[in-house]
Structure 1
Amino acid sequence: MKNSDHTDRGVAAFPHYHPRYKCCCDTVHVKQGTLMIGIVSAIFALFGLFQALFSSSENLKWTILEVLYLAIEGICTALLFVAIFKDKKMLLIPFFLNQLVSALLCAMLTLLFIWALIDSDNFVGEIIKVNNLSVSITVLCAR
Structure 2
Amino acid sequence: MNNRWGRSRPIRNPEVNGIAASSEYFPKPIHFDESQDRYRCLCNCFHIKNGALLVGVVEILVLLFFLINSLLLMLTHDTRYQESAGLDDTYITVPFVASVVGIAVSSVVVFLLFIGIVRNHAILLIPHIVVQVIKVFLAFMTDLTVFYRMMNAAPFHEHPGSNTVALDIETAARFYLLFFLYVVSFFLECWFLIVIFNCYRYLDERRAYMRYCLAYSTPLKTLSAR
TM-score over 0.5 (shorter chain): yes
Q: Does the Cα contact within 8 Å between 1:52 and 1:66 map onto a contact in 2?
A: yes
1:104 aligns to 2:104 (yes or no)? no
Going by fraction, where is helix more abundant, 1 or 2?
A: 1
Q: Deviations over 1:93-143 (max 9, x none)?
A: 11111111111111111121134223522249xxxxxxxxxxxxx9xx656
Q: Does the Cα contact within 8 Å between 1:83 and 1:91 map onto a contact in 2?
A: yes
**Which runs of 5 or more residues in structure 2 are unaligned?**
1-28, 78-88, 159-178, 190-226
Distance 1:12 1:113, change over 3 A: closer
Distance 1:47 1:114 in 2: 23
Indicate the residue corresponding to 1:135 in structure 2. none
Distance 2:132 2:72 in 1: 25
**Counterpart mapping for 1:52-131 below 5 A:** 52-55=70-73, 56-57=76-77, 59-117=92-150, 118=152, 120-123=154-157
Indicate the residue corresponding to 2:52 in structure 1. 34
Q: Deviations over 1:19-56 (max 9, x none)?
A: 23111121111000000001001111112112112323
Identical-pair percentage: 25
Amino acid at match of 1:49: L
**Which runs of 5 or more residues in structure 1 are unaligned?**
1-10, 125-137
Q: Does the Cα contact within 8 Å between 1:31 and 1:84 map onto a contact in 2?
A: yes
Instruction: Work out which of the two has the higher radius of gyration on C-alpha atoms and give 1 or 2.
Output: 2
Quote how far apart the aligned CAs of 1:88 are. Answer: 0.6
TM-score normalised by structure 2 residue count: 0.47
Indicate the residue corresponding to 1:23 in structure 2. 41
Amino acid at match of 2:54: M
RMSD of aligned alpha carbons: 2.6
Distance 1:114 1:12, change over 3 A: closer
